Amino acid sequence: MKQRDSKDEEKVRNINTFSMKKKKNMQRLGGTGLSLEAFANAKSVNNHHNPAFKKKQREFYKNAKFVNKYKKSVKQLSHPNDVSSAAVRHVESQTEDGNKKNMKNKKKKKPTMEILYEKKREEEEKARIEREAMIKAKKEGREKAEARRKSTRDKMFKKTQHGQPVMKYRIEHLLETIQGSVHKLD
pTM, two decimals, is 0.33
The radius of gyration computed from the CA coordinates of the chain, to the nearest angstrom, equals: 46
Is the pLDDT higher at 29 or at 39?
Answer: 39
Among 89, 70, 69, residue whose Cα is nearest residue 79:
89
Q: By the 8 A CB rule, do 1 and 8 touch?
A: no
Q: 167-176: list long-range contacts, CB under 8 Å, 24+ apart.
A: none
70-85 pLDDT, tens digit each: 998 888 888 765 545 5
**165 - beta bridge partners?**
159
